Amino acid sequence: MTNLLEPGPKLRRRYRAEKIFKRMGLSAIIASLCFVFFLFYTIISDGYSAFTQTYIEIEVSFNKDLFTDANISKADFPGLVKKSLLKMFPEVTKRQDKKLLYSLISPSAAYTMQELVEETPKLIGTTQKIWVLADDDVDMLIKGKYQRDVPESNRRLKDLQLKWIDRLTAEGMLEKKFNTTFFTSGDSREPELAGILGAAKGSLLTLLITLSLSFPIGVAAAVYLEEFAPANRWTDIIEVNINNLAAVPSIIFGLLGLAIFINFWGLPRSTPIVGGLVLTLMTLPTIIIAGRASLKSVPPSIREAALGIGASKMQTVTHHVLPLALPGMLTGTIIGMAQALGETAPLLMIGMVAFIVDVPGSFTDPSAVLPVQIYLWADSPERAFTEKTSAAIMILLAFLIAMNSLAVFLRKKFEIKW
């Protein structure tokens, strides 16, 4: 007779095992949460500063005699910037010091001037106060990423430059502002000019190709294999091969893409269309396998019910099986897409690991993608690219989160309650 009030030793042991199991599960979850938080913390604490950029206000007089040529772009804009700086610091006379002074301002200042004048030619003959980008070294100093207290010879910014920067700061002519450039331009070798838009758009275009090819092809293949294909040796061979393909290292797909799409079809290198095709090859097995698994999970009684009242095979699949399997298929697709979004190895082979400044406008413009941009920036010698790297990772994560939420939304929308 077991005592209901006093559990025996056997029962107690069972409960203990249960408790240990529960605790282990909980600590596993806590540990993984810790890693995720740590990851987010390091990335955000490294990268948040990239969203502001240091600007310096300079007073520019657009003298008429500078713009004698009818073609405005021929004017000496770098000279204009230099002149303005010298006017602000008249005490600088030595050649060496002048060079130091000029290096406070980003080389982009000249382009800024050019754009301004080209936009509103009326500026010619006036004097304007204009905020221009500071050099990345100045920016790093302002953001506290350079130490001031090391000997001058060991610093990228010399004592004289520090003095000027302090003066500018005190006069309110040096400020951190929101970094719009980061969101509106492509890659650059000047950290202060480098932006993520080119890579983000490249990723978007590439994934569009991948999604629009791999989803329909993957779903069609999964439906055919699962619902229509006769069970014979050929189907077995195809099945084994698809499973093997899912395990093939992604760089192989890059080699394949290089051989077929670029060398054989003659598609242009480094473009989203080739990248999309290569990533399609890579994600197809994932989508097919996930698709088949979710088709398998549809209970056979639903198929019988439909067939039993005289639905054809096709109607059974499209009216009943597919809607039930779709949420699972979407999940598989999103996993495939997320993989594709983070992939660089196969893109190396088809030339997408490249320095590309112009933001791609179409599927056949050369473009990079987000992970490639991260890789390239992480490998750049300039210190200021460190924060850009982290910021780019944040953008990539945002992309991922957006894609996942879309998947969750779609799944919720298509999910059929039992």
Partner 1 sequence: MELTANHASNAFPTMLSEEMLEEAEQSKTLATARKTVGTPFVDTPRMTCRDIQVFYGDKQAINKMSIDVASNEVLAMIGPSGCGKSTFLRCLNRMNDTVLSCRVTGEVKLDGTDIYHPSVDVVPLRARVGMVFQKPNPFPKSIYDNIAYGPKIHGLTKNKDELDEIIETSLIRAGLWDEVKDRLQDPGTGLSGGQQQRLCIARTIAVSPEVILMDEPCSALDPIATARVEELIAELRTQFSIVIVTHSMQQAARVSQRTAYFHLGDLIEVGATEKVFTNPLHQLTEDYITGRFG
Partner 2 sequence: MKLKTIAAAGALSLLLCGPALAARDYISIVGSSTVYPFATVVAEQFGKTTGYKTPKIESTGSGGGFKLFCGGVGINHPDITNASRAIKSSEMEKCAENGVNDIVEVKIGYDGIVLAHSKSVAPLKLTRQEIFLALAKDVPDPKNPGKIIPNPYKTWNEINSNLPPTKIEVLGPPPTSGTRDAFVELAMETGADSFDVIKAMKKTDKEGYKALSQTVREDGAYVEAGENDNLIVQKLQANPAAVGIFGFSFLDQNSDVIQGSFIEDMPPTFEAIADGSYPVSRPLYFYVKKAHVDVIPGMKGYLDEFTSEKAWGEDGYLADKGLIPMPAAERKQYHENVAALKTLEMK
319 binds partner 1 (CB under 8 A): yes
Nearest distance from C-beta of residue 398 to partner 2, angstroms: 24
Neighbours of 1 (CB within 10 A): 3
- DSSP sequence for 229-272: S-SSHHHHHHHHHHHHHHTS-HHHHHHHHIIIIIIIS-PPTT-H
Per DSSP, what are the bridge partners of residue 131? 57
| Backbone CA torsion sign across 208, 212, 217, 223 | positive
Query: Which of these ranges, 10-18, 241-249, 305-313, 361-369, lies near partner 1 under the rule CB under 8 A?
Result: 305-313
Strand 52-61 and strand 127-133: the pairing is: antiparallel
Nearest distance from C-beta of residue 62 to partner 2, angstroms: 19
413 binds partner 1 (CB under 8 A): no
C-beta of 24 vs 305, nearer to partner 1: 305
Nearest distance from C-beta of residue 83 to partner 2, angstroms: 18
| Backbone CA torsion sign across 273, 276, 281, 287 | negative
301 binds partner 1 (CB under 8 A): yes
C-beta of 86 vs 229, nearer to partner 1: 229
231 binds partner 1 (CB under 8 A): yes
Find the largest Cα–Cα distance for the chain.
110
Q: How far apart are CA 154 and CA 147, in angstroms?
A: 10
C-beta of 99 vs 177, nearer to partner 2: 99
306 binds partner 1 (CB under 8 A): yes
- Residue 134 has phi, psi (to 5 degrees) of -80, 160
Applying CB under 8 A, among 244, 312, 318, 362 the residue interacting with partner 1 is 312
Q: Which residues would be at the binding site for partner 2 (CB under 8 A)?
A: 99, 103, 107, 111, 146-147, 150, 154-156, 188-190, 262, 265-271, 273, 348, 351, 353-358, 363-364, 366, 376, 378-383, 386
Q: How far apart are CA 297 and CA 295, in angstroms?
A: 5
C-beta of 245 vs 302, nearer to partner 1: 302
By CB under 8 A, name the binding residues for partner 1.
Answer: 231, 299, 301-312, 315, 319-320, 324, 416-418
